[in-house]
Amino acid sequence: MAVIISPSRSSFARFACHPISPVLSRPQQIRLKRAQQEAALPDAEYRDAIAVVTGMADCRSSTDPRLTDRHWDNLLSYFEAIFWRKHDAGEVQVSSKTDATFRIRGYWAQRNPAGNTSRDRYVATGIGSQVAELEARLLRDGRTLQYLQGIQARMRRGGKPFSLVNYAAALKRTLNARQRLENCPF
């Protein structure tokens, strides 16, 4: 675990107040610049990579407020592939520093599959109990276990990975829709 430099607890405090804030934290921005340096990418190629990987042609900086954790994960995976190609060609060396971004081949690619961003992992620390409470409320309101399994099955359609964060959001939407129906005067 010494390889991972995660954002400090203080940078996570803003996520608690603004859970949908797409802005990358300062430690994430620094990690991207370190990845650029370790992969020996010129600044123009680094900025082109940000635009290509994010799919936003006018996004060319790690400080762009539209960047999300998913973009960050994808960028690190992309820079990792560049680093290891250059390493295999003898153009760059693996750093001996304990906080080096690329020390283990494939680390970023396997660490961050879709539906498992750093924000997902942070939120997941308390999401299990929240999901259990939401499921219990739905069961008390007359929903069945098959109904809950149906929600999960719909979330997995098309080979999508299952995410507890998204499942909790679906359960909340179901509860809110039920309350709106009960409050409807006709």
Which residues, including other chains, have CB under 8 Å from residue 85's CB and lie 6 or more apart?
none
Are residues 31 and 91 located together in one domain of the fold?
yes
Are residues 23 and 100 located together in one domain of the fold?
yes
Are residues 132 and 46 located together in one domain of the fold?
no
- Kindly tell me if the per-residue pLDDT of 27 is higher than 60: yes
- Is the entire prediction scored with pTM above 0.95? no
Mean pLDDT for the chain? Answer: 80
| Domain stop point among 72, 90, 112 | 112
Which residues, including other chains, have CB under 8 Å from residue 148's CB and lie 6 or more apart?
135, 138, 139, 171
Burial classification of residue 140, based on how many CB atoms lie within 10 Å of its CB (0-12 exposed, 13-18 middle, 19 or more buried): exposed
Q: Is the residue at 4 inside a domain?
A: no
Q: Is the residue at 150 inside a domain?
A: yes
Q: Is the residue at 59 inside a domain?
A: yes
Are residues 35 and 89 located together in one domain of the fold?
yes
Q: Which of 14-28, 90-104, 126-140 has the lowest mean pLDDT?
A: 14-28
C-alpha 11/C-alpha 24 separation (Å) is 10
* Residue 119: predicted pLDDT: 61
DSSP code of residue 159: G
Average pLDDT (177-182) is: 76
Average pLDDT (86-104) is: 90
Domain of residue 54 covers: 9-112
User: What SS3 class is residue 25?
Assistant: coil
- Helix and strand counts by DSSP (H, E) for the chain: 8, 0
Are residues 94 and 150 located together in one domain of the fold?
no
* Residue 19: predicted pLDDT: 40
Q: Is the residue at 3 inside a domain?
A: no
Are residues 135 and 82 located together in one domain of the fold?
no
Number of domains in the chain: 2
| Domain stop point among 112, 133, 149 | 112
Q: Is the residue at 2 inside a domain?
A: no
Report the range out of 19-28, 36-45, 167-176 with the highest average pLDDT. 36-45
- Share of residues in the chain with pLDDT > 90 (%): 34
Q: Is the residue at 117 inside a domain?
A: no
